[in-house]
Structure 1
Amino acid sequence: MKRTLKITGLLAGLAMGATLATPATAQDPFTGQLQQFGMNWCPEGWHRADGSLLSIAQYPAVYSLLGTRYGGDGSQTFGLPDLRTRMPVGYNAQLPISVMTGTTTTTLLLSNLPTHTHDLQGDETGPVTNQPNGTMLGTFPTASPIYSSGNGTVPMNVHIVQITGGNQPVTIQSPILATNWCIALEGIYPPRPD
């Protein structure tokens, strides 16, 4: 009889515990939390971190955390962070929170390059023609005249001096793996530290 009462009491206690409201678990996100996902959609209660403008009236808790740092007019709308093709980094005094900076390409200018020299390439055999078109410099005997008083209208062989770059942008993007950044619109309101 005592054993039956103990089991019955234990079962009743478990049943009551199951019906009580449970506190938030470690699985519940903080409102405003950013999270990467491997699928191309965001779970329920989350929104893609794509710079969208949301209604302040519909998401007052998220607005109270983000304000207009990421866009919006502050009276009707606020913006979400835009992490499309962006890599998040920690903020500091020189890089305030929400600042977007950087680029995936750059154009190198002469001023970007260190001072350097190039040897003018020639052929070890003596000159065999008077036509500069499509040829390269040959070795001249000492004291032989090698300069012309002409205007230099004939292009030399393209292998002597080549133009590189052409002021075209070059890629400077680090290797990446695209994932789906989402922001929690629902969850535990994050408590501020004391």
Structure 2
Amino acid sequence: MYENYMGVIEALGFAFTPAQWAYCAGQIVSINQQTALFSLLGCRFGGDCRDVFGYPDLRGRVPIGQFQGPGLPDWSVGMKPGFERTVLTTLRMPSHSHAHNYTGTGSLTDISVAKTHGTVQEPDHGDYIAEPSNGFGSAPNGNLYVTEAQATAAGTAQIGGVSDIGGGFVSQYLQIHNTGVNDSFEIMQPSLVMNYCICIDGLYPSRS
């Protein structure tokens, strides 16, 4: 390849490394053997900065420009953001709700009263409403109820315009079961694999 600056990275269409170039594969190399290149890269891409340093690692990664673009994060050379896959958690989901319809199990029930005068003022379980007696409505001790046996003997009459819904729900906590699985999914952009190589022996770049 033509003479190039040390530390320059090129995307190549062939799969090998030319002379004086190396793969951008995160290799850890000796500082003593490549002092000039270390002076340019430092330990931005790995190493301990005492004995060894690292080459850039572009395996499965896309390079992005440093600095902060409008409305974008601030990136520095050597940072490695991003993932090929992710798992969506409830903390990242938009606010939403789940509809749930509740249907009662009961049906309309007609209300009947006994066709006789009431015999007691306070009802027991199973008593029927009867015809008022003892001045009910004007006297405080009016009798309005009869036993089931008395109502059966006297007969009953259905009250028009009044009905009751039998059955229904008991007030309780209702839970909507979880759905789905926590598998990761791909978020990778459409890409083209290239052979990224770095010049490790070339012209030393000048700042002026």
Bin for the TM-score computed over the shorter chain: 0.5 to 0.7
Matched with 1:80 is 55
| Matches of 1:98 and 1:85, distance apart in 2 | 15
Measured after TM superposition, the shift of residue 64 of structure 1 is: 1.2
Measured after TM superposition, the shift of residue 76 of structure 1 is: 2.2
2:194 pairs with 1:179: yes
| Matches of 2:171 and 2:50, distance apart in 1 | 75
| Higher helix proportion | 1
Matched with 1:108 is 88
2:145 pairs with 1:168: no
Matched with 2:116 is none
Q: CA offsets, 1:46-103, max 9 Å, x none?
A: 0000110112222222111111111122232211010101111111262221111111
Contact 2:4 2:202 in 1 (8 A): yes
Measured after TM superposition, the shift of residue 116 of structure 1 is: 2.3
2:168 pairs with 1:188: no
2:194 alignment partner AA: T
Rate the CA distance shift 1:38–1:145 in 2: closer, same or farther, 3 A: farther
| Matches of 2:10 and 2:104, distance apart in 1 | 66
| Matches of 1:177 and 1:121, distance apart in 2 | 49
| Higher strand proportion | 2
Rate the CA distance shift 1:150–1:66 in 2: closer, same or farther, 3 A: closer
Higher relative contact order (CA 8 A, sep 6+): 1
- The secondary structure found in structure 1 opposite 2:75 is coil
RMSD: 3.1
Equivalenced residue count is 146
| Matches of 1:192 and 1:121, distance apart in 2 | 71
Rate the CA distance shift 1:141–1:185 in 2: closer, same or farther, 3 A: farther
Unaligned runs of 5+ in 1: 1-25, 123-136, 153-160
Rg larger for: 2
Matched with 1:91 is 66
| Matches of 1:168 and 1:46, distance apart in 2 | 40
2:46 pairs with 1:71: yes
| Matches of 2:44 and 2:16, distance apart in 1 | 24
Matched with 1:31 is 6
Equivalence map 1:2-41=2 (5 Å): 27-41=2-16
Measured after TM superposition, the shift of residue 140 of structure 1 is: 8.9
Equivalence map 1:92-171=2 (5 Å): 92=67, 94-120=74-100, 145=167, 147=169, 163-164=179-180, 166-171=181-186
Rate the CA distance shift 1:114–1:150 in 2: closer, same or farther, 3 A: closer
Measured after TM superposition, the shift of residue 111 of structure 1 is: 2.4
| Matches of 1:59 and 1:82, distance apart in 2 | 17
Query: Which TM-score applies when normalising by structure 1?
Result: 0.63
Q: CA offsets, 1:90-143, max 9 Å, x none?
A: 112622211111111221112222222344489xxxxxxxxxxxxxx8999785
- The secondary structure found in structure 1 opposite 2:36 is helix
Query: Which TM-score applies when normalising by structure 2?
Result: 0.59
Q: Percent identity?
A: 32
- The secondary structure found in structure 2 opposite 1:183 is strand
